[in-house]
Structure 1
Amino acid sequence: MFTTTYKKSAVRTFVAAAALLTGTLLTGCSDDPAAASSGSDEASPTSPADRALAYSQCMRENGVPNFPDPQADSGGIRISPQDGLDPNSQEFQDAQQACQDLAPQGGPGGTGGGGAIDSAKAAEWAQCIRDNGVPKFPDPEINGSSLNIDIMGAGVDPGDPKFQQAMQTCQSKYPGGAVQFGGGGGQ
C-alpha cells in the first residue's frame, strides 16, 4: 500500500495519513452516513463529519485528486486508504500543509480536537499498539492537543502491515488529537 522508505520530513507528513488511512480515529456525533457528506463550502466546518469532509475536499483541491471522502462507520468517521496515495509525495505533503487547519482532530494549529490530551489515555493507546504486534511502539510525547511519536527512532515501520493492523485494532483507545510521527530522534 505505502512505500517503506521514509525521509524524516516525509515521516512527519505521514502523521495524518497514518492516522486517517489506518482506521477510525475521528469519532463523530452521528451514525447517519448523510452526516459525512453534508456541509457547506462557505461555512467553517464544526462537526467532526463536516471537518473530515472539508479536509478530504481540501486535499483533492490541493493536488491529491484520489483522496477519499469520509464514510460514517460505527458511530464515527472513517477515511479508508486507496491505492495510489503516496504520503511521501511532494503533492501529498503540500496538500497536507495547505489543509492542516481542517485536519480531523485539529491537526497542528487547527481548532478541532479541543484541549490537552489525557496522558493516561495516550499511554493506554500506545500499550494497545504494542500488545497488538508492534512491541517497539513508543509512548507518545504530549504537546497540548498533539501526540508526538518518534516511531522511526524506535525502529517502527509505518508501512508494516502489523503497524497498520495494530492502529486499526486500537482505534477505540485513540486519545484524540493530532498525531505527528517523527524520525530518528530529530523531532
Structure 2
Amino acid sequence: MKKLTALLLLALATACSGQQAAPQAQQALPASDAEVKFAQCMRDNGIGDYPDTIGSEGYPVKDAVAFDKAEQTCARWKEAGGTAKKVDAAYIDAVTMYAKCMRERGMKVQNPDPKTGHYRVSVDNKDRKAFEKAQSECVHLLPR
C-alpha cells in the first residue's frame, strides 16, 4: 500500500507565528488571519485540500516534495501574526514526550524540530488503525 506521510502541525499559532516579511506598508495580522492566509497560500500552491486550521490530529501530507515547496513559498504567512504563540522549551518537551509515547506504541514519529515544533509521522495505510489507537493514547501529551 502507498505510504502516507503525515506532517503534524500542532499548534495552530505555531504555524503562523512571528512577523511578516512583506511590504512595510502592510500591518501585522492577527495570528488567526495569518493562519487563514497561510492555508489559502498552500491551496494556491498545489496543496488543494489544506484546511484553514490544523488541529492536534495534524495534516496528512500525500506528496512531501510538493508540500515542502508550497510551505517555502508561503513562509511569509508563518511570520505574519506577530502575536502568535512562540515555540518554547516547554512546548518542545511536550511534543517530544508525545513522539516518544507514539514510538513506544510502534509508530514512526520524529522528535519535533526545535525551531518550528513540526514533526513527521510515517504511517502505512495498513497501519492506520494502530496509528489511531496510539494517537488516542498519546494525544493528551500534546500542548493545547
Q: Counterparts of 1:1-150 in structure 2 under 5 Å?
A: 3-4=2-3, 17-20=6-9, 25-26=10-11, 43-47=27-31, 49-70=32-53, 77=55, 86-88=62-64, 90-103=65-78, 112-118=84-90, 120-131=93-104, 133-134=105-106, 137=109, 140=111, 143-146=114-117
Structure 1's 129 and 165: CA in aligned 2 closer, same or farther, altered over 3 A? same
Secondary structure of the structure 2 residue equivalent to 1:92: helix
Which blocks of at least 5 consecutive residues in structure 2 are unaligned? 14-25
Asked whether the equivalents of residues 129 and 170 of structure 1 are also in contact (C-alpha less than 8 Å), the reply is: yes
Structure with more relative contact order (C-alpha pairs < 8 Å, separation 6 or more): 2
Partner of 1:180: none
- Larger % of helix: which? 2
**Alignment root-mean-square deviation, CA:** 4.2
Asked whether the equivalents of residues 7 and 59 of structure 2 are also in contact (C-alpha less than 8 Å), the reply is: no
Secondary structure of the structure 1 residue equivalent to 2:86: coil
Asked whether the equivalents of residues 56 and 142 of structure 2 are also in contact (C-alpha less than 8 Å), the reply is: no
Q: Quote the offset at 1:56 in angstroms.
A: 1.1
Asked whether the equivalents of residues 8 and 57 of structure 2 are also in contact (C-alpha less than 8 Å), the reply is: no
Q: What TM-score, normalized by structure 2, do the two folds share?
A: 0.54
Q: What TM-score, normalized by structure 1, do the two folds share?
A: 0.45
Secondary structure of the structure 2 residue equivalent to 1:26: coil
Which blocks of at least 5 consecutive residues in structure 1 are unaligned? 6-13, 29-41, 72-76, 152-156, 177-187
Identity rate, percent: 21
Count of aligned residue pairs for this structure pair: 126
Instruction: Show structure 1 runs of 4+ deviating over 6 A.
Output: none
